[in-house]
Every structure is written in C-alpha cells, then in structure tokens.
Structure 1
C-alpha cells in the first residue's frame, strides 16, 4: 500500500470539528445537540448581501479576478478608511476565506523549518496551517488567571531565534475573546522592527468589541508598513461564514507580489460570494450596534451561569464571541465525547470544543473547553444547565 506523507500524518485534527461524527450519531438517536463548539452565528446575514445574489442577472458565472474585482477592493479600502486604516486597493488580495489569507501569508514569509511565535491559546487551525507549510509554532503562554492578556514582551523576545520569521496574533482573540490594547500592539510593533520580523494579525473579529473598547489594527502603527500583514474575513462580520471571502492586506509590495503568485495558483475567489461581500459593505452601522448589544447580553448571561457551577473558572471576553472555561475534570476531550455518546438531559446534550487543540504546548488546556456564544440566550441557558448536570454525572462515573 502506498504511504501517507509525514506531513499528512502530523496534520492535527480540528478540535472544533473532530467530534462531528459523534454529534451526528447522537442526532440519529433522536438527541438534540446544542452546538457550542463552532463560531457559526445565528445572526441574520444582511438582506442587502443576500439580495445582491438573489436578484443578480448573470448569464455566465465567470472566473473573478485573481486578486478580487477592482470595485470590491476599492470599496473595501473605503471601509478600512472609516476604521482609521489608510490603505489602497492595490494592497488588498481577496481570498477564499480568512483561512486562505493565512495560508498565503505563511507561504509568503516562511520556508520549511522556519518558526513563527504565537501567544497561546490560539485559533486551532494555526497549527494546521503551520504544519502544511512545514513551519514550527513557538508558543508563548498566556493564562486564564490574567484573562489571557498579552504575555510579557520579554517572553516573546526570549522565544526569538535564528529561524523566527513572524509573530502571529488574533485580535480580538479566538478562542479567548481577549482584545489587545493599543499599548500591547505598540510593544509588539517595536519588537518586530527591532528583530526585523513580520507581524501577522488575524483581525476578523475587529467589529465585535465591548464596554466601549476600540480595536487597534497593526495597520495603524506608523513605521510598521514593511512588517505588517493583516488577515480579514466577511464570515463573522456579516454572518456570512458560507461565503468564504476574506482578504490579505499589506503595504509591503513584495509581500503582495509574492502572495499574488499563490493566489494565481488557485485561480480566483468565488464570483457570487464576491458580489454578496461587495453589497454587504453597504450594511448600516445600526446592524453592528444591534449585534454587539446582543453579543454582550449573551456573554454576560453565559458567564453568570457558568460561574454558578462549582469548580468552573472562566475568562471574561472583551471581544469576538468566544470564551475559555476551565472545568473541574482532567480530560476535556474525553468529557466532550462522553457528552455526545453517553449523556442527555430531557433528550438534549451539548457539543463543546476541547481546548487542548488551541495550544501548541503539550498538556496545556487539557481541562478547558472553548464555548462560542453564538446562540439565542434561551439556548445558552439550557446548554449551561445541561453542562452542570453532566459534570455531576461524569465526575461520579
């Protein structure tokens, strides 16, 4: 039998999706599964985006431009201008989701055997992208005790070696919901300039910040033009996860020129999704105001309910729509699978994402889960009730 590549064998499973077969089996048995595992908002997609596709009169569904249409990229540059980010259309490459933008970024700035530094826990697929590119992730640990704040900058500097090419952050953070302050971004900016590294920022949750806090983009940092690479996406912003439209942004001309070669190899982003995404840029601010208000209410409800469960520790998110909860158990992977295979309360159970997959350091996150509070408040309350009762039974067994 032909062999499988070592790279393929070492490719990590997604902690977000690996339990899907168990969830499907539970549903076949008539158990209702409440999904806390995935960041699929139940917020309605803006009507203007759906109508742009529904009412389109295209007769030939052609390839789009490799870098995305001029009209979309120019309109997108206008969106960033309103956010205080001054870029032009030539500094944007439209991608098939933020995932492809991340893959292009790593392919552009790293070679086999290079290293990237990432504060952990981090978006689990960073491990996958790094593995696919033959790149080693060097983690810098942040903890639930500090609400997953940026670790001391000295820890980052200590992690820098001869093969380090970039520091990668997610802001606001997935899975923690932590929002990096302007001062923290300035510290990272100074560090990458000092050591001539790239700073890659995944900013797909930029719209969702709470308590009046503002998102500070790395593209707003003066003097970082040759170092900054931003990954963005329409998926969460407009509740358009299925559109698979993202972008890579950099003012470094060689980064854009090189990333374009990767983009050309995959031909083009999807045409109908581009049309929807361009229309979505006309979404009024009131849409986001309402969505943010809803997420704050969900977050507060979820955290209050979780804190009533004995032994649970939970960090308070300042952005995005995720939180990390530490459970009074030894193995969250086993618990998450057990929930789907062996537990139900009044015909319902919950699906969570075990947090170990959001770390690169072996052994960390073993007793933690990530919860996405993208469901209606009634569902969140029910989910926490199920978790509470499940923990009682699981610990006894």
Structure 2
C-alpha cells in the first residue's frame, strides 16, 4: 500500500511504475479523491474554528445580558454542529474510497526486475547441481507413489474431492521427515526462531499481507468469518502488526512449519495430476522483518537458506528472477527456486523468496524506531518458502527412484525416517 504523498510528489513516475506491472494509470484518480478529501478537511477546520468562536461569543453575550445575540449565536453553533457532522461523514466516506483504491494497487518493482508479460520473460540467475541420469524409464511421483501402494488419490477424492492426497506408511513418514528436517535446519543453522501460529486468522491479518481484498477467491473462509491461512507468511508477518519495534532488534527472523490451504480458484486445469497443486499442503515458511537498509541483503540471505535445504537433499535446482508480469501482488522482487523433476523432465517451483519493502508494513502499521528517541519508520518485510514440503517429497521420489520402483531416502533424512529406502511393493 502507498502513501498518497508518493503519488502527489511524482504522479507520472507513479503511473510509469504501474505500467511495468501491466496496471492502468491511477495517479489522476487518486489525486482527485485526495483533493476532495483535502477540501472537506479544510471546510471542517473552518467550521470548527467558527463554532469555537461562536461558542466563546455566546458567553460574552450572556455576560452582557444580550439575550438576542446569545440566541442567534446558539442557533449558529447548532447549524455548524450539523455541518461538522455531515462533513465528518463525507470525510470518512472519501477516505475509505481512497484507502480502497490505494489498497487495490500492486507493489512497485525494483529497477532490476525484468519487464515481461508472463513466466517466459523470467531470467535465470544460476543452476546448482546436475540432474541425475537414469538407465531406465523414469516415472512421475504419482505413478511411483501409487505403485508403492502409499499414495492414494481415489480415497482422498472420496474424503474431500479433487486436489487432495492420502499418504500412508513410509511415504507419510518421509513427508513428515522432510518438514522436520527443514524446520530444524532453519532454526539451528540459519538463525530463525520457530513459531507455532494460528491457522485461522481475521480479515485484518489477511489484508495486512495483501491477500485481501484482491485475492479473496483464492482463500477458504470459515462460517464465523475467519480465514484458513494460505501460507504461514500471513500470521508470521502479522506478529508485528500495529507495533513499534526497537530498531536494535532487527532483523527479526521467524519460521513455521504449517499446513496451508488454498482454493486455487485461478488454476483450473493446471497441474491436475498428482500432488503438485493441492488445496491442502505443508510448507516451511521464513519471514524477516528488517529496516530499509537491510532488506535487499536479507533477500539474498533468505534465498540462500532455502537453497541450502535443496543442497542438503542433493537435489538439482535453478534460481530465476520473476518478471513484472509473473511477480506477486505484494512483492518488489521475487527469486523463484525451481527444483529438477526427472518425471516431468523440467524444473518446477519449490520456493519463492520475496522482498516487499514497506508495502505490507503500511497495511499493518508495523514500524520501528532507529534510535530510542527517533520518530518511527515503517519496517520492511520479506517472506520465502523454505521449502514447500509436498513438492520436496515429489522431488525426492522422482530423483531417488530406482528401476524396481523403490525409492532411496536422502542421507540427511535417514535420522528422521529411521530407514534408508522405501522398498517396492
């Protein structure tokens, strides 16, 4: 979300920045609303000044026993009171409209973000690791899991419908092991503090991280008006909502391993096979709260933490910078990490690490004091997957598959699973 002063100071630059995101110009409309609001505020101030003056004059008129003048002034004060009440209602209305307009606009991208319409314009930064070579015909994860008898889409459909999966036995344990390994790695090696947050949140929390109002259809809502979290980014980032932090505490780094819930309203027909795109999935999330000076370095650090997970698992991957047309609504820049999936013979996203600047902080009113007596400034926020557990399970199954249908367990996970392979059925 933006400060209207940014628009007023450079309306052409503001519209040019929106154009990079494929959004229509908005400065003129925003400034018209702000001008209307300012005019109302000015009239209110004049009316309040006149009311105060008339109220004082009433006392003087009564003191001099000028009852006619006192009654005239009392009538004037009553009229001014009505004018002020009407003006306050008008101000609230136009302020809400301005707030709604501002909150519907995407974040401004950093200068080095490539301009493009879709993922075809994303720019590869680096590749790490060599995709494994097989001397047999490789299979995708769903074929492997069903052949093992440990991945059941039919029963999941009976229980909950499409885009759900039932895992059993060693495959369920392997998924749990992946999540435990990730959260341990981020807390023990990367300096994040583990948090166990609520999975249900209020409107304010989802608005704060910019899923509302634009992406309500992508979320699940409960009958009492709360939302199931689409990612732990929502509760983790909102831990600092409405607060003024001590700048000496920053950067603040937190992580959580949680279920996530998404309706996938805009993904009809995409990734319908297997468990690539689910309504319910587990993800290890990282969130950082920083100063403006720290935030860009923090994005590099956060991306490195996610990469370290894939390196420890022995999985090949690449890192890409998302173009303007593929960038998330609240991000200024995003690095996607894409893991190699032999069954699909391609790289697929397994993590996104985004720097949001003060975009979310303004929505949450999250600030910090650089010095104890200094005026508060808005924090900068970052979020990243560290990584998606279900997609990591897919990658392990496909990269560690054997000709006989069994799956080897990466060495780093053996202490968590208690076994080195999942034997063929």
TM-score range, shorter chain: under 0.3
Structure with higher strand content = 2
Which has the greater radius of gyration?
2
TM-score between both structures, scaled by the size of structure 2: 0.24
* TM-score normalised by structure 1 residue count: 0.25
